[in-house]
Each structure stands twice: as C-alpha cells, then as structure tokens.
Structure 1
Amino acid sequence: MDHNILQTTRELIDEVGYPALTVDQVAARAGVGKAAIYRRYASKAEMAFVATVHEQELPPPVGTGSLHGDLLALVRTFHVRMAAPAARQLAPALISELAGNPELNTRFQDTFLAAEQVGFAEIIDQAVARGELAGPVDPAMAHLLLLGSLASALYILNLPVDDVMVTDLAAAAAAGITALAARHHGGSGGAAEPR
C-alpha cells in the first residue's frame, strides 16, 4: 500500500503539479481511503516530500578515500533528488508547514533529518580515522554546511545549481568541517577553543 500511495503521488505531481495535488486524488487513484494516507503522513506536503525526495534509501557513504570526495558523492545524490521539478514545487510548501506545525516539524527532524545526519556522522568518522580531521564534528553542523547550502541555493535563492556549484559546495563544506574539527580538537597546531 505504501508503494502504491507514493507512486500515485509521483504520477499526479507529474500530471497536475504539486499545487493542484489533493489527498482525495491520491486516495481515489491508489484505491485507498484518505484515513490510510493520514495514518502514514501528517499532510499533503509530507506525503509528496516522501514520494519525490526521501522514499529512496539514503546512499551509504561511498568511501572515496577523502572527506571532499565523500561529501561530493553525497551532495551529487541529493542534488538530483532536490533539484527535480516536483521537489522544487513542494519544498516551499513543506517549509511553510514545518514552521507552523510543531508536531510535523518534530517528525521531520526525527526521521528524515536524523537519517541524513547518520550519513554525515559516518563520513566524519571515516575522515577522523584517516587522519583528515583532528576529531569529530557535530553531524548537524556538517549537514547544515552542505545540504543546508544546497537547499538554500535551490529553494530560496533560486540559483541555477550545476555540477560546478555542487563541487564548490562540497569543497566549502569540507573546508568548514576541517576548520571546525581543528577549532574544537586543537588540530593544525592550535589549541582547542572553547565551544
């Protein structure tokens, strides 16, 4: 049933666009009751977000051998998902709903963002083990530096994000993460600064 709901949501977004999409349309075409949809998703925006951006499993860290390479592989995967026309249509609506619905915001933080931050934690742990970082960095900060910048470019600034920009975002995030690790763990010959 879950797959059917999400597949139907994707089809309808392609056909009518996100603004015209309704839960009634999804329920009717998927052959399920609206209650079944609302047991799974708190809103149309959450359902559409899962269908277009987050249904697929997050990619495991690639293990390219460098922090920059791992971040670049990750941001390229997310760029494909986040730059899709359906994702660009629904992101502003989801952001608005998150701002006005604390329960939905908590669900979003505890599911989607938490899963993404696990991936960042693995990348950071690998970089520490390779000696690239002086110590661990908060995965939430790494997430903000890379995917927060990508989301801002796509959904707020409406920039034409191409692979050159994605590569630059990964380089900037790697530099920022490296600087934070040095700041908090006394790497690069400096004393650790207080947090």
Structure 2
Amino acid sequence: PTAMKQLAVVQFFSWFALFSMWIYTTSAVTRHIYGATDATSAAYNEGADWVSLLFAVYNGIAAVVAIGLPWLAKRTSRRFTHMVCLVIGGLSLISIYFLGNPDLLLLPMIGIGIAWASILSMPYAMLAGALPADKMGYYMGVFNFFIVIPQIVAATILGFIVGYFFDGLAIYALIVGGASMILAGVLSLRVEDEE
C-alpha cells in the first residue's frame, strides 16, 4: 500500500535517529559534557551513570505522553501529531550539543520522550487504516523491517561518519540523528493517512 511505502521512509529516518542516540549518547555526554575519554575514570563513569538515568527519564516521559497523543491526533491529524513529536525529538537531540550542564540534559529527554511515544504508536495507527484486514499480520511484519534496516545502516556507517568527518567526536552523531528525526517528521506530512 502507498501509505506503507511512505511510512517506511518515515520509520527509516526515525529509527536511524534512535540508533544513533542509543549507540553514541554515552560517549557523547562523557566527552562533550564531562570532558572524559578514559572509560576507567570517575568522570566517565559518572557521565555514563547519568546517561542511564536520562534514558529512564525519556522512557517515563513517553509513557505519560502516550496517553495524550490520541487526543492531539483527534484535534489535528495523526500525520501532524507525528510530525510535531518528531521535530521536537530531533531538536532535543541536537540541543545536547549546546548544553554544558549535565542537569540540563533532562530537558532534551522530555522532547525525546515525546518523540519516542509517537514513534511507538502513530505510524502503526496510520498504517492500520491502510492495510487490508486479511493481510494485516503480513504487512505489519514487513513494516517492522524498517526498524531493523536502519539499525544495520547505523551500525555500518555511523562509525565511519563519526571517525572520518567528525574526528571521532560522538556528539556529532547525535546531531546527525536529530537531523534525521526532523527529516522523518517533515516526511510524515506526505503520508496518505485515512483517518
């Protein structure tokens, strides 16, 4: 279905952003904010522990935000809701570059949690209306390829990009991820969604 093809592209860039975040946030935060590159140092471990807490925060935010997404989608549209959430998440990822205080990293986690809530729900809500009922399971299974494919792509090229273009500075992987998430948000407006 056309909507599935359009959503597949949105999913690709959304999940590419997530994998860049999951792979590089610890090294980005420990070096960029804590100034630590030695994984055995106290500063590095303090930064890594803080990242673990930050990830718990964005998951908690997502659980709360997910309750309100249907309300927003009903008053606007699922496409618009998904776009807004992804743009907020992308800007939040990019904002980590500009924050020097570890405590302030809680703010981008709110935005990332908003995006995460939408990524886990809105594409499937849009897709469900576009699929024939007798092939729903098949198409949903194929659709999940667009979670796996960006993971493979991120694992394959991000290390090269960070090493070759960004001199090994992982913070730039988060900026690339943020830009990817914003692109996914813009592309979500193209999805033919039958409410």
TM (norm. structure 2) is 0.36
**Higher RCO (CA 8 Å, separation ≥ 6 residues):** 2
More helix by share: 2
Higher Rg of the two aligned structures: 1
